[in-house]
Amino acid sequence: MSNIGKTIRDGYCNGFFGRDFDLYGSVIIAEGEEYVVIRKENGIVAFGNFQSWDWNRNEDGTLSSGISNLKCAYDKQDLIDSWCEY
C-alpha cells in the first residue's frame, strides 16, 4: 500500500520525527519499507525511521563491534493510518 500523498492529521506522530509538534498538515512524499519522508506545511522535509536494532555485546555487557537484530520493529502501516485519520 502506498502512503505517498496522504496528509497527516496528527501533530506529533508518536515522536518518529523528533520533538516536532507541528506535523499536522504534512504530506507524505516518499516511503520505504522502514522509513517515511514528509514535507511539512512550511516546506521543511522530515524523515521518520521505523528501524530497531541491538548492539552486539560481550558477556559482561560491554559493547563489542557491530549491530545485531536489525528489523522494522513497529507496524508502520498501523501508525501511518492512525496519523492520517480524520
Q: What is the largest CA-CA distance in the chain?
A: 49
Contact indicator for 8, 28 with CB cutoff of 8 Å? yes
Name the band, by pLDDT with cuts 50, 70 and 90, for residue 71.
Answer: low
**Residue ranges of the domains in the chain?**
13-83
Contact indicator for 43, 34 with CB cutoff of 8 Å? no
- pLDDT tens digits, residue range 30-58? 999 889 999 999 999 999 988 877 777 78
More confident residue, 10 or 58: 10
The residue whose grid cell reads 536489525 is: 70
Neighbours of 51 (CB within 10 A): 12
How far apart are the C-alpha atoms of 71 and 30, rounded to whole Å? 20
Look at residue 10 in the predicted model and tell me its pLDDT.
92
